[in-house]
Amino acid sequence: MIKDDRDINRIRWGNVTLIVAVIAQTLLLWNEYSWYEAVVPYVTLISLVALAITVLCYVPVKEALRDKYMWLVAAACIVAGINILVTDSGKGAWLTAADVLLVIYLSDKIRLTNIMMWFMYVYIGFYFYYWTYDVKGYFKGYNTNYGGLVLITGFVFAITGIIAFREKLKKDSPAGAKFLSFFLLFMFAWGYNIVAWYRARCALLSLIVFAVLMLVPHKWWKNRVFYSIITYSATIGSVLLSLVYVWLGKLSDSVSLRIFYKDIISGRNEIWADLWGAFVKQPLTGIGSSYSINVRWMTIFEVHNGLLDILIVHGLIVFAITCFMLIRVLLGLRDHAAGSVVSKSATAAVFAILAGSFAENFFIVPPFLLCTLVLIAIARSVCYNHTEV
């Protein structure tokens, strides 16, 4: 709660820190592959520093010490640290867990000004057009799946910005608002075409989820049962899907479905089967990130599923706390999404990113993690007319 000028100044600095971190990470990771290679080992640390500063700006130490959710975050971070030592894991894995926990903790606290929201619509949305014009995923070093994640992130920001602009035009320029409604249809067709060009199946799943949720009437968003199904499907569902995928892998000879020239059973089943086999032997500690995956064509450790990564690498306790807090934050967005079409778009974008994380780490890694935090902040901030922070 904002009480006086000192609170306002602290929150301003917290917001500025967050926005600067997003700009720094996207500039370094989304423009030149040589820059990406040079800085990617350090971006989780950049996130941690920025998030720690933002937490201190939003939550004074005395309040943090009385906050049960901060104690949960601290407990999860301590357990993750112990598990890292027990499993002899790569120490950088702890930064990922800590970043995710701090983002979830901050998610229901951050309020952005209108100027900050408009800046993020334009800035992150720009990358959709940029990566469409300059197809980096094929010719310039980036993995095509990564390109799809950049595209869908830029896309949901661009769409949310266009919707926000359309809402502003409705009173003064109904014709302009109607034109933007048609332009949104064009944008979705454009989004599909470029995602298909990149052959990015995870991005396609995100696009489909985003489109479907945008078509869902407002009264459905108000329905607790419907919204709870979406929330639990986007979180617990991602872990359950990996088990279903392992099962389908055993039936691969009789299951044949291609998306973008690839079978839907095309390798994730082998990775997840191996990871689950190792995990069930030490579920409390997880297996750490130094585990050697026993799949002949897999040369690096990569879980390819955001929340499954937290479970497999860090163990049941860290996963349970992370999932509990994430579900709590997502459930808290229901009234915002039901009350504003802009909030609805931002919330649908969060679910779209979580859906894309079913088969890629996506939302748990920079800069997508901070972008997800910004989307949640937008969904919450739109319903408030705070211009003082």
Residues 6+ apart with CB under 8 A from 13: 53, 57
Q: How confident is the model at residue 141 (pLDDT cuts 50, 70, 90)?
A: confident
- What Rg, from alpha-carbon coordinates, does the chain have? 20
Distance CA 332, CA 347 (A): 11
State percent of the chain over pLDDT 90.
72
Buried b (16+ CB within 10 A) or exposed e, 139-162: eeebebbbbbbbbbbbbbbbbbbb
Question: Running DSSP on this structure, what letter comes out for residue 223?
Answer: -
Interval 59-92: pLDDT, tens: 988 888 899 999 999 999 999 999 999 999 988 9
Question: 214 falls in which pLDDT band (50, 70, 90)?
Answer: very high
Cα four-point dihedral sign 62, 68, 69, 75? positive
pLDDT score for 388: 36
C-alpha closest to that of 29 among 154, 191, 115, 133: 154
Identify whether 366 is preceded by a cis peptide bond (ω within 30 of 0). no
Q: What is the pTM of this model?
A: 0.93
Dist. CA 251–CA 327, nearest whole Å: 32
Q: What is the pLDDT of residues 1-55, one digit of tens each?
A: 445 567 788 899 999 999 999 999 999 999 999 999 999 999 999 999 999 999 9
Give me 376's structure tokens.
Answer: 């949640």
Q: Where are the domains of the chain?
A: 5-123+224-242+292-381
Q: Is the pLDDT of residue 280 over 60?
A: yes
Tens of pLDDT along 282-336?
A: 999 999 999 888 877 677 888 989 999 999 999 999 999 999 999 999 999 999 9
